[in-house]
Each structure stands twice: as structure tokens, then as C-alpha cells.
Structure 1
Amino acid sequence: MVTADERKQDIINTIEENPTEITIGVSTRKIVDGAWSIDDSSRTLTVRIFQQKNPEVSVISDTKGTADTSKKYGMLADHTADLTDLSEERIEFGSPYGKMEVLAIYPQVVKGEVCGYQCELKRVS
């Protein structure tokens, strides 16, 4: 059985194989003097972005031939990213692959301890 510390180190090692630095804009809503106050800030994370294997493959046909494309991407972040508090916000960020939007966040949990986060991404225009 893998311990939480071993899983955390596995995630960190995987990210270090092909790291990408991203900046996520975060909007936090707080009640101040009986009204909502929105505090905008940003968070810089080192993650790994990869193309996901997806059964939904689009076939593009043109005069040169056909090509199979998949526009689904994934992201792996370590335990320090703390993405659970952002799960109700729309998260978009720029990357070398283009502008991305986070579709889903899946915490990687071992024995009740969060070891990292795996996310589904899609490229947006």
C-alpha cells in the first residue's frame, strides 16, 4: 500500500518531468459591512499539463487528407495547490497550449489526506 508521503512525492516527480507555470486569477467573495465584497488576487502554480486519452476523437477532413484530433487536456497539481476552495469558481488561465478552462477538479486522496489534484481541462478561444 502506498503511503500519503510516497504519493505526494510521486506527484511532485511527475510534475518535474514536464513542469508548466500557470497563473490563476482568484475572486473571493466576503461579507463586509453587510454587503458582498469581491477581492481579486492571483495564484502562481507549477503544474503538469498533458493531452488526455479521450475516446471522443474528432475526424477532420480536408483536401490533404484526414486527421484525428482530441481537444481534451488534463492537469496535475501537487498538494500545495489547494484547488478545492476554487471548485465553485470558473477557472481560466493561459498556458503554452493556449487559454484553458478547468472543467473538473479531482483530489487525489490517500488515507484521508489530499496528496494532489488531477483536473480536466479544455482549450477555449
Structure 2
Amino acid sequence: MSQLNQLIEMRRNHVNWSIQQNPTDISIKRLVRVKAGGGFDEIEKDVGPFTVRLYVTSGSPKAISVLAGEKQVDTYYGLLADCQSDIKADTHTTDSFKANGMEFEVKAVFPQTIGGEVTGYQCELERVM
């Protein structure tokens, strides 16, 4: 095994160890918008379950205007997931889940890589209140 492969494996083990220090099991509800005719169709599907680690970051509460009115959110939370997890956040995909009595939406996913190989994912979360 090359040194790079050993480093990749070591980092994946570090991510898994960190998750196991405070694990949370989640199942994701994914909403995907696909082009259909002149607009978009929304397809909802369940993804997971995954064991992740939720952690507190800095953030602030705010009110966001949505079609049906206004919702209260904050960005105090982040998520650490292993390299096998299927978590997405882009213009056509919205992942959300419930954990510890709270509802979260994934706002950004940052792959953690070594030598082009994914070793884990860090995610920015928005908690919906």
C-alpha cells in the first residue's frame, strides 16, 4: 500500500472515529427539481440512513421570506459525514432531515479530500424553527 493510500485510509478512520464520539442517525428527505416541459417537477425520495456527527458552529438566527410567509432559521449547526454518505446541496437538490427534535436543511456540502480521494464531508446546516 502506498503512502498516499495509507494517508487516505488513516484520514477516513479519523473521520469515522470523530463521528463515533457523538453519533446521530439520520434519514434524509431529498427534494430534486428536474426540468419538465417549460418548468420543473419536484421528485421527493428518502436517502439513508446515515450515521453522522452534528456539532455546534457560530451562526445567528434570522427570518427568511418564503412563498407561504416567513420562517425562522439559524445556522448554529454543522455536520460531519463519512465518505460513503450521500448528502447533497445544490440549486436542484434540497436535503433535509430531523434529529434530536429539530429540523435541518443542508445548505452546503464540502468534500474533505486527500490526493483527489474523498475522506469525508463537512456540511453547513440551517435549523428550521
Q: If the length of structure 2 is used for normalisation, what is the TM-score?
A: 0.69
In terms of fraction of residues, the more strand-rich structure is 2
Distance in structure 2 (CA, Å) of the matches to 1:28 and 1:50: 26
Query: Could you tell me which amino acid in structure 1 is paired with residue 79 of structure 2?
Result: M
Alpha-carbon distance, 1:91 to partner: 1.5
Structure 1 consecutive aligned stretches of length 4 or more whose deviation exceeds 3 Å: 27-31, 36-40
- The match for 1:102 is 106
Q: Which of 4, 9, 25 is equivalent to 2:8?
A: 4
Q: 1:51 to 1:109 in 2, by over 3 A?
A: same
Structure 1 SS opposite 2:94: coil
Distance in structure 1 (CA, Å) of the matches to 2:52 and 2:32: 22
Query: Could you tell me which amino acid in structure 2 is paired with residue 113 of structure 1?
Result: E
The answer for unaligned runs of 5 or more in structure 2 is 62-73
Q: 1:28 to 1:122 in 2, by over 3 A?
A: closer
Distance in structure 1 (CA, Å) of the matches to 2:86 and 2:60: 32
Distance in structure 1 (CA, Å) of the matches to 2:60 and 2:86: 32
Q: Which of 8, 18, 32 is equivalent to 2:22?
A: 18
C-alpha RMSD of the superposition = 2.9
Distance in structure 1 (CA, Å) of the matches to 2:85 and 2:118: 11
- The match for 2:54 is 49
Work out the percentage of aligned pairs sharing the same amino acid. 32
